[in-house]
Amino acid sequence: MSEALLDVVVRSCQIQGGEVLVLELAAANGQALPRFAAGAHVDLHVAPGVVRQYSLCGDPAMANVYRLGVLKDARSRGGSSAVHAQLQPGTTTRISTPRNLFPLVSDARRSLLIGGGIGITPLIAMAHALHARGEDFELHYRGRSRSRCAFVDELLAAPFAAHVFTHFSDDGADRQLDLAQVLGSPAAGTHLYTCGPAGFMDWVIDGARQQGYDAGHIHFEYFQAEVDTRGQGFEVQAVRSGKTVQVQPGQSLLQALRAEGIAVEVSCEQGVCGTCLCDVLEGEPDHRDHYLTDEEKQSNEQIVVCCSRARSARLVLDI
């Protein structure tokens, strides 16, 4: 069954930091939009066959508007560049209802939010939610240049501005992010949330582990990742399609399925969004995605087709 989509209209748009388009979307019928929780994202249907995921970066208490921040990526595969070129005030488009793969923990005593570049977007909604609940938190925003980053002025003027700390490379050595100091020793009930470029997130996550943070207290969401297609070839039986496919060394599973005419619904093609999730009937996947949890990967019940491979010589998939 196809997912119900929401018809929305661009209420306003503004370029911030040179390359980030900040959009406000309202329901085309004038009604309130579905409520969302901090950390949620929507699928933005940019064009036929072009669907991209963007975090909701507004205040979850506002039911009449969704806010997105879209960085124009020089390596765009047709998503962000189309958003910047096509979406203007009054433009109508379609989005999914909000989905949340990056939620706040309800019983945290303290929350550390650490964002890099455009990865600040889901953390803005988190800061609004934590402030509204009167909870203890800090929001740290790291970027290369203050003038090239979005949302800076509004964060420093927000009701929770006392909890906001900026770390931009052009602000001088004394303003850089001292990760060990910010993380500190993991006090009971402290939870870490981080989002940003893959290298930045790996640095934050590794630093938290070195400081002694429990894996269950480290929360993250990748929005971009490199696909690793290295490895031996393997065979895939696509049960519903009635075909057997040979995946060659260095070839992705998605490429092999497409070459045999097997249709796979995809979006990010980087193992981030989960659009191409497929049930595994037999065999052991080699999970290379950033979508499934560790527990889900251990169960080997599903595979993210666009990036994962096989540990066994054969996979049987419900596709």
Higher pLDDT residue, 250 or 222? 250
Percentage of the chain lying above the pLDDT 70 cut: 97
């989509």: which residue's tokens? 5
Tokens of 84: 């910047």
pLDDT per residue as tens digits for the range 203-239:
999 999 999 999 999 999 887 667 788 999 999 999 9
Question: Is the pLDDT reported for residue 79 higher than 90?
Answer: no
pLDDT per residue as tens digits for the range 166-194:
999 988 887 899 999 999 999 999 999 99
Decide: helix, strand or coil at residue 137: strand
Choose among 42, 22, 137: nearest CA to 84. 22
Tokens of 185: 């020793």
Query: Alpha-carbon torsion 106, 107, 110, 113, what sign?
Result: negative
Q: Determine the Cα–Cα distance for residues 267 and 259; give it in Å rounded to an integer.
A: 18
pLDDT per residue as tens digits for the range 91-114:
999 999 998 989 999 999 999 999
Decide: helix, strand or coil at residue 256: helix
Q: What's the one-letter identity of residue 148?
A: R
For residue 267, what are the contacts with CB-CB under 8 A and spacing of at least 6? 43, 51, 52, 53, 273, 275, 276
Domains plus CATH for the chain?
Answer: 5-96 (2.40.30.10), 110-221 (3.40.50.80), 234-317 (3.10.20.30)
Average pLDDT over all residues of the chain: 92
Phi/psi at 81 (nearest 5 deg)? Answer: -65, -40
Question: Is the pLDDT reported for residue 271 higher than 90?
Answer: no
Split at pLDDT 50, 70, 90, the class of 198 is: confident
Higher pLDDT residue, 293 or 17? 17
Q: Which residue intervals of 133-242 are DSSP H helices?
A: 152-156, 179-183, 198-210
pLDDT per residue as tens digits for the range 121-144:
999 999 999 999 999 999 999 999
Q: Determine the Cα–Cα distance for residues 262 and 244; give it in Å rounded to an integer.
A: 11
Per-residue confidence (pLDDT) for residue 1, from 0 to 100: 35
Percentage of the chain lying above the pLDDT 90 cut: 78
For residue 119, what are the contacts with CB-CB under 8 A and spacing of at least 6? 194, 195, 196, 197, 200, 201, 223
Decide: helix, strand or coil at residue 67: strand
